[in-house]
Homo-oligomer: A and B are copies of this chain.
Amino acid sequence: MKQINLDQTPPLTIARALAAEFAKTAVARDQLGGTPKAERDALRASGLLTLIIPKAQGGLGASWSETLAIVRELARVDSSVAHVFAFQHLLLATVQLFGQPEQWQPWFEQTVAKRWFWGNALNPLDPRTLSTAHGHWYEFHGEKSFCSGATDSDMLIASAQSGDKQGLLIAAIPTTRQGIHLRQDWDNMGQRQTDSGSAQFDHVRVEAGEVLLNPGPLSTPRSCLRPLIAQLILTNIYLGIAEGALHEARQYSLEQRRLWPASLATSANKDPFTLLHYGEFFAALEGARLLTDRAGEQLDEAWHKQAQLSESARGQLAVSIAAAKVAASRTGLDLTSRIFDVTGARATTAARRLDRFWRNLRVHSLHDPLDYKLQELGDWALNGQFPTPSFYS
């Protein structure tokens, strides 16, 4: 890939250049699966992995809105790379929100200096990894599924169940720590280059200073921002996938679509039913875009309030993000399936893999059930009840 001068280039410009590169191989890599090593290294080289790191620690000091815009930009062409890129920032947020500055500041500085890529081993719904306390250290032992971006990472955010009142322990540890085994067992129908496979923790030693206990997970309104950031990342990825699908469909419709004999139009791009579909795509996408962007701005505000963030401000943000997520999921699933109605049968060639948009979104939109997101929104709309904070709300 060509070199990009990071010094004066705005991050979004860098991201667009990277996206243009990633687009060239996205179809081939969707077929291959596995680790997008070259793309991960390009992200490392781009400096964009430090987007959300404050300038005080040497990062780019971007806002969440800016960061999410870049996530969406990448998702338009490659939602797997967008996913692991976004989780980099979610994990950096995790250590900030759950831990103390003495913990995360050095990690941030090293992330900048050593271009660390962070990976995920946190899945709170998988209780198989257990933690045992040993004075100044803990032992993590057991299995963990859905460890997106753990392969080829430098640092891991891992979780384990303690048997006592501490509940879920979350720690930041080097991926090379002895006893960590990452299995290359992710082979799913979509998001194929996210390495969301399983990990094994074989009597892994975790130092006390690596555990995020103060304030710890979901302990304060601010620490409860973490799941909201995760949900808004998902939303931006869904939206990016839909936008990418529409972009490719449009190219195909304009270049290749043939006029159906029974059409009253004189060219395929003026066929009434084709225009009806595109009109519906556009109107739905616009709504999802506005909801998603508004939620991003509200996240920026909530983030800046630091410890002053109130429960109700956090609740309002949760509602905005949930509404955006519902819109992006539904619009995206509908659009990525219906694009074929405006391209026709020949667009199903494996050479284009236009189905990857639906496959990627279908997989990613199962992160947590949309029905329960709607139930939360309903509880707000009917009962004025904010979503109860959890790792999914």
Contact = CB atoms under 8 A, between A and B. Distances in A.
A283 B355 contact: no
A282 interface: yes
A351 B186 CA distance: 10
Contacts of A381: 246, 250, 278-279, 281-282
Interface in A278-302: 278-283, 286-288, 290-291, 294
A333 B326 contact: no
A274 B375 CA distance: 9
Interface stretch (A53-61, A102-110, A135-143, A364-372): A364-372
B379 A363 contact: no
B345 A363 contact: yes
Interface stretch (A113-121, A166-174, A253-261): A253-261
Contacts of A188: 348-350
A327 interface: yes
20 contacts: A188-B348, A189-B350, A253-B382, A273-B375, A274-B378, A275-B375, A275-B378, A275-B382, A277-B378, A279-B373, A281-B378, A282-B380, A283-B322, A283-B327, A283-B374, A283-B377, A287-B291, A340-B362, A341-B366, A341-B371
Given A283-B326, A358-B362, 4 more contacts: A188-B350, A262-B375, A275-B375, A340-B362
